[in-house]
Amino acid sequence: MNKTVLVLALVLVAGCSGGGTKSTGSVSTTGEPGAQAATVDMRDDLTFHPSEVDAKVGTVTLAVKNTGNVPHDLEFSDPSLGKTSTVDGMTSQDLKVTFTKAGTFAFVCTFHSGMSGEVVVS
């Protein structure tokens, strides 16, 4: 392989590699610390909208809505926080999560690699 082809190949690979989670915005929960609520949409572009939920220590009910046709789920990296079952297109599920301490708590769609978000608890 000549140098020009090798350099071009390296440039193309570098340009196509992901640089981390694609942010689709953030939302703050509403309600008192024991009864907070927020909505997270799951879309056919394989992203959570928003990808960040800001909450306080306490209980949060996430309204997990699939606004497209592709099935998704939402599962926290910490299994004790819970997960939804499959959320088919144009349906929703509520997921009640209790955060006992501040921190950042990641979640993913287990069906689609790279589809991720987080709850930031203060």
Indicate which CATH number applies to the domain containing 96.
2.60.40.420
Question: Is 82 domain-assigned?
Answer: yes
Which pLDDT tens digit goes with each residue over 70-116? 999 999 999 999 999 999 999 999 999 999 999 999 999 999 999 99
Question: Is 25 domain-assigned?
Answer: yes
Question: Is 10 domain-assigned?
Answer: no
pTM: 0.82
Question: Is 91 domain-assigned?
Answer: yes
Backbone angles phi, psi at 76, to 5 degrees: -75, 145
Which domain range does residue 95 map to? Answer: 20-121
Question: Is 94 domain-assigned?
Answer: yes
CA angle 73, 46, 41 (to 5 degrees): 60
Question: Is 6 domain-assigned?
Answer: no
- Distance of alpha carbon 111 from alpha carbon 121, whole angstroms: 25
Question: Is 12 domain-assigned?
Answer: no
